[in-house]
Amino acid sequence: MGELILLRHGETEWSRARRHTGRTDLPLTSAGEAAAAALAPALAARDICAAFTSPALRATRTAELAGLAGAKHDPDLWEWDYGGYEGRTTPDIRAERPGWYLWRDGIIPGGPGGPHHPGETVEQVGARADAVLSRVIPLLDGGDAVLVSHAHLLRVLTARYLRLGPAEGRLFRLDTGTLCTLGVEHGEPVITSWNVPAA
C-alpha cells in the first residue's frame, strides 16, 4: 500500500505576514516558488499514482513547480473559509476578542463573501477532509497519492486520517513549502513524516 503525501503550498505575502488566507487567491512569492520547486526531487523518487490540488493559485503553482503538472483540481482541498476573519492576523483578532483561538472559537460571518457570509466551522472543514479521504485512500493500493493544499485543511485532514476529531488538527503545526506523509503501521493509520522542508 502506498502513502498519502501532503504538500502545503509555498509562501505567499499573506502567509509570510501570518494573515488568515482562506479563499483569497494569492500568488506565491519568489521564495515560495523556490521552496515548491525544491520539493520536486523528493516527489520524483516516489511511485505516485495520483495527485490532487486545491484550485487556489498558490496550490496549483506549487503542484506544477514540484513536478505534479497533471494534478487534478479538487474543490474539497480549498482552505478553511475564514469568513469575517479573512486576511486578519491572530493578534489583530485578539485585540477585539481576547483569548480567541481558531480551533476552539471559530470564525465570524463576513469577509469577501459579504457581511452575512458564514464562513466554515471546523466540523464543515472536517466533512470536506473526509470526502477527500474517501476518494483518495482506495487509490493507495496503486502507489502513493499526493494532495497539494493549505495548512489548516491539511491539519484537519490529518486528524481525520488518524480517526481524531477535526479540531485535533490543532496539534499538527504545518509550515509553507513542506512535505508530510501518512501511512499505516500494523493496519493502523500513522504519521510517517511531518513538516519536512525541501533538502
Q: Which residues are catalytic?
A: 9, 79
Q: Is 165 helix (H, G, I), strand (E, B) or coil?
A: coil
C-alpha 120/C-alpha 11 separation (Å) is: 23
Q: Which residue has the cell 482562506?
A: 22
Would you list the DSSP string of 113-180?
G-TT-----HHHHHHHHHHHHHHHGGGGGGSEEEEEE-HHHHHHHHHHHTT--GGGGGG----TTEEE
For residue 67, give every residue at least 6 positions away whose Cβ sits within 8 Å of its Cβ, in sequence order, or none: 40, 43, 44
C-alpha 45/C-alpha 111 separation (Å) is: 41
Please say whether the beta carbons of 103 and 170 come within 8 A: yes
Sign, CA torsion 68/198/189/160:
negative
